[in-house]
Amino acid sequence: MVQNMTYDELILRIIILLRDGKIRDFRSVIDELQPYDMAFIFKEMPEKHRARYLSYLTVDDITDMIGELEREFQLVVLNKVGKTKATLAMNKMDNDDLAQLLEEMDEELKEQLLSSMEASESKAVQLLMNYPADSAGRMMTNRYVWIPQHYTVKDAVVKLKSFAEIAESINYLYVINESKQLVGVLSYRDLILGEPEEKVQDLMFTRVISADALQDQEEVARLIERYDFLAIPVVEENNVLVGIVTVDDIIDVVIREADEDYEKFAASGKDITFDTKAYVAAYRRLPWLILLLFIGLISGSIISYFEDALKQVVALAFFMPMVSGMTGNTGTQSLAVVIRGLSKEEMNKKTIVRLIFREFRTSIFIGAVCSVLIAIVSIIWQGNALLGFVVASSLFLTLIIGTMSGTIIPIILHKLKVDPAIASGPLITTLNDILSLLIYFGIATAFIHSL
Amino acid sequence: MVQNMTYDELILRIIILLRDGKIRDFRSVIDELQPYDMAFIFKEMPEKHRARYLSYLTVDDITDMIGELEREFQLVVLNKVGKTKATLAMNKMDNDDLAQLLEEMDEELKEQLLSSMEASESKAVQLLMNYPADSAGRMMTNRYVWIPQHYTVKDAVVKLKSFAEIAESINYLYVINESKQLVGVLSYRDLILGEPEEKVQDLMFTRVISADALQDQEEVARLIERYDFLAIPVVEENNVLVGIVTVDDIIDVVIREADEDYEKFAASGKDITFDTKAYVAAYRRLPWLILLLFIGLISGSIISYFEDALKQVVALAFFMPMVSGMTGNTGTQSLAVVIRGLSKEEMNKKTIVRLIFREFRTSIFIGAVCSVLIAIVSIIWQGNALLGFVVASSLFLTLIIGTMSGTIIPIILHKLKVDPAIASGPLITTLNDILSLLIYFGIATAFIHSL
């Protein structure tokens, strides 16, 4: 019956069960729900029912649910359930979720919460928090099962059964030697198919792909995507197994990275969602806009430098927005290719040289087509062949320059370990604006007496 | 030994083994490799060794490897291995990969290949190809194990063992009733933990989250991400199970969708990677650039309309790039928030109204800050308070208009089922350019005699 209910029906049913105190029926509904559903229901239900809802949920439910909630709601839940239940839930939470939750808390509260937790769990979380942000170590979990290499299939199944609860979502067993070094991996499927007395080390896969704990999360995502893994083991130097990273966290990384690239690219400011408050959104966007305002003024001052030419031939102003706009557009097109490529390709010298030459040839094609077009248009519109030549030849040159700066600048920034997405947008815009206006008015000034 | 070899070392070793005809040693190296590795080695090895490499690989190896190769290489492999091996590999390939491969082949070759395949496999692929592009049905696989609901754990294990090969990467069993309707799901882990005589229907999870075969792949990705699933069952109307979609394919969807959003946003043209040829890249970018060229000319013609004002006060030209640039920038910022949000949020009336008002308030904050700034700058620079007022008040108005068009236009396009990412970039740019110049010169003309 619960199977086909909509969220609204579910919420209504749960509220009725809470009101009537029917904990058994409540339980049978909850057992059919996913953590995301429990979290969604918590957020959507009227506030007055929340305390009771939480009191009816088990520690396991609360642990699962917290993983699906936004930070602000996580804190609400931890506050409302009371210290004992909160501590129990924290003990069971995924380490990476917990580390993220604790990270932004004030020191005192964090210490207090950590000290109330089980020593082993609290130690594990603190270990995670020692790894740099965005590293594999920071997002790994200790909820996996490892076995010594001398185990038989039967031993492994026994161990798996006793760790059933924590072995929930991963379907590999990681095999280590006496020095805790990762030596192999065995899937649950191989375990099911193996004979009880077979040795794990004869069944296991030994060329294990692993991530380094200090490796960037984006690189780990690339490994998981490339190999179609469900989880990847994380090792420290000397190949000592310290945790695993699961595919569900990797999907979040991929989405977050795409959002970040997008935000930087649009200079739209970090983390503006539909829920961000207006003044916060303004505050996050303004630095970019003020920067772009001054960049616009630089163009203005270049134009003012050519004031005399402009006074003599006002028609020069008509083509100005088009020339600088096109330079910007072609630069953006190249930038997009480079930035998305940087996250996927190996950037060796050969690739870079090939890319630069490709973009150069592309810009010649594009420049030729666009300048012929604009020559025709401007001759028809302004009836002035020389003006047409000035506009067309400047456009040809600026399109090449725009493309090259959109290609080369992000590569240089990448080599300098500056994030090219964030830095090259304004840099390329400024440079392209300045160069396009200089070229346009430069060529125009050379011919001004004939125009 | 193979465990720690670099790709270069691996390729060298494999070439030596191929040359010396040591098939046994070759086998023991290959057994330790991932499909991605085999594909990488194939692509990187000198061409003269490829035929022998393929002849040493088993049909299973070739099947795995093909899944990791780009289309052009897939065709090379299928050609080189000969018809028998090619057909065997195609029988074993993931249906979705095969459908993708066949899709772009010419009709005749496709028919020929399909008819040489096993009837059941060829039927399964053709079934897939009947679903629309980008639908869940198109990317599903039939490599999963289903069991009737009356099975015991023991029955299920027996069935799983006999389907070992196809049950490779997924760790759920799907439970169906007599009418082939999906009624539950059971994880391998539950199977390992269950007692042999227990009934599957007592262990299984019944509130199964499934995707509709016609559902958009992006929505399926959202489900998998939300619920942290490794695979999701796909049903047709009446809840009949027709296949499953796995998380590794979903990661590809997420990456592809992000790339597409990015491409559209930057108007950079579809599918331009580092390997695209120069003329192809030019061909894909040119439509956008030509469109933007004419948009630039629209601005130019508006300026030409205000030629007299510009002749009288040339300084108006100095602020022109800044005003229209800023309008474009603020529009882009809003557009980015809306477009990324559209793929995540439920767009109901309440959300939309709230978003529009948020953006409106944001634009007032932004407009106020920027116009005060520009007033100060222009008074200092041009020493003309009235000019400062004209520039500041136009900027204030155009920033509000830019923000609103960047918010409202993509929402309207989304409602009209037009992809807002692709259509709203140029539309918003054009509209913002026209409006910003009209406002700027309009206000300027009103005060022209005092300037």
Grouped pLDDT means (10 residues each) for chain A, 451 residues: 75 91 90 87 89 91 87 85 86 82 79 82 84 88 87 88 68 88 87 86 87 90 85 91 89 81 68 79 84 86 88 87 86 83 74 91 94 91 87 94 91 81 68 88 86 69
Is residue B429 a contact partner of residue B401, using CB atoms and an 8 Å limit?
no
Q: What is the pLDDT along chain B (451 residues), one digit of tens a residue?
A: 566 678 888 899 999 999 998 999 999 888 888 888 899 899 888 889 999 999 999 998 998 898 888 877 888 888 888 888 888 888 888 778 888 888 777 788 788 888 888 888 888 888 888 888 889 998 888 878 889 999 999 998 888 878 766 665 567 889 999 989 999 998 877 887 888 899 998 888 888 889 999 998 888 988 888 888 888 999 998 899 998 998 888 888 888 877 777 777 666 666 777 778 888 888 888 888 888 888 888 888 888 898 888 888 888 888 988 898 888 888 888 888 887 777 666 677 888 898 999 999 999 999 999 999 999 998 888 888 888 999 999 999 999 999 999 899 888 888 887 777 665 666 777 788 888 989 999 999 888 777 6
Query: Are A305 and A182 within one domain?
Result: no
**B379 — contact with chain A (CB < 8 Å)?**
no
Of B88, B103, B130, the position where a domain reaches its end is: B130
Query: What is the CATH number for B203?
Result: 3.10.580.10
Query: Are A257 and A287 within one domain?
Result: no
Distance CA B29, CA B272 (A): 36
Identify the residue whose tokens are 């997420």: B254
Residue at A226 is within a domain: yes
Residue among A357, A18, A230 at smallest CA distance from B171: A230
Max CA separation in chain A (angstroms):
96
End-to-end CA distance of chain B: 82
Query: Are A78 and A110 within one domain?
Result: yes
From chain A, the residues in CB contact with B277 under 8 A are: 358
Of A130, A163, A187, the position where a domain reaches its end is: A130
| Host domain of residue A204 | 146-261
Residue at A136 is within a domain: no
Q: Please, what's the b/e burial string for B309-320 (b: 16 or more CB within 10 A of its CB; e: otherwise)? A: bbeebbbbbbbb
Distance CA A173, CA A178 (A): 16
Cβ contact, residue pair B252, A340, below 8 Å: no
pLDDT digits (tens, 9 = 90+) for B354-363: 899 999 999 9
From chain B, the residues in CB contact with A311 under 8 A are: 311, 314
Strand order in the sheet with B240-246: B211-212, B231-236, B240-246
User: What tokens were used for A92?
Assistant: 């069971």
CA-nearest residue to A229 within chain B is: B248
Query: Are A343 and A435 within one domain?
Result: yes
Query: Are A204 and A109 within one domain?
Result: no
Minimal CA separation from B107 to chain A, in Å: 31
In a mutational test of the A interface, the residue from B318, B382, B398, B433 whose CB has the highest number of chain A CBs within 10 Å is: B318
Residue among A65, A58, A273 at smallest CA distance from B340: A273
Query: Are A165 and A237 within one domain?
Result: yes
User: What tokens were used for A407?
Assistant: 């290609």
Distance CA B217, CA B231 (A): 13
| Strands B231-236, B211-212: pairing kind | parallel
Residue at A208 is within a domain: yes
Residue B396, Ramachandran bin (φ over 0: left; ψ between -120 and 50: alpha; else beta)? alpha
Is residue A196 a contact partner of residue A153, using CB atoms and an 8 Å limit?
yes
Instruction: Report which secondary-structure segment, H or E, holds A235.
Output: strand A231-235
Residue at A101 is within a domain: yes
Residue at A135 is within a domain: no
Query: Are B249 and B283 within one domain?
Result: no
Query: Are B283 and B432 within one domain?
Result: yes
In a mutational test of the B interface, the residue from A314, A334, A344 whose CB has the highest number of chain B CBs within 10 Å is: A314
Query: Are B283 and B236 within one domain?
Result: no
Query: Are A85 and A191 within one domain?
Result: no
CA B285 from centroid of its chain's CA atoms: 19
What DSSP line would sit under A134-179, residue for residue? Answer: TBGGGG-BS-S-EEETT-BHHHHHHHHHHTTTTTSS--EEEEE-TT
Residue at A91 is within a domain: yes
Distance CA A322, CA A180 (A): 64
Supply the pLDDT for residue A257. 78
Distance CA A233, CA A208 (A): 8
From chain A, the residues in CB contact with B276 under 8 A are: 358
Residue at B451 is within a domain: no
Residue at B271 is within a domain: no
User: What tokens were used for B49?
Assistant: 């060794």
Cβ contact, residue pair A254, B252, below 8 Å: no
Query: Are A72 and A164 within one domain?
Result: no
Number of domains forming the structure of chain B = 3
Instruction: Report which secondary-structure segment, H or E, holds A92.
Output: helix A83-92
Supply the pLDDT for residue A168. 55
Distance CA A369, CA B100 (A): 35
Query: Are A294 and A423 within one domain?
Result: yes
Supply the pLDDT for residue A214. 92
Supply the pLDDT for residue B425. 65
Query: What is the CATH number for B436?
Result: 1.10.357.20
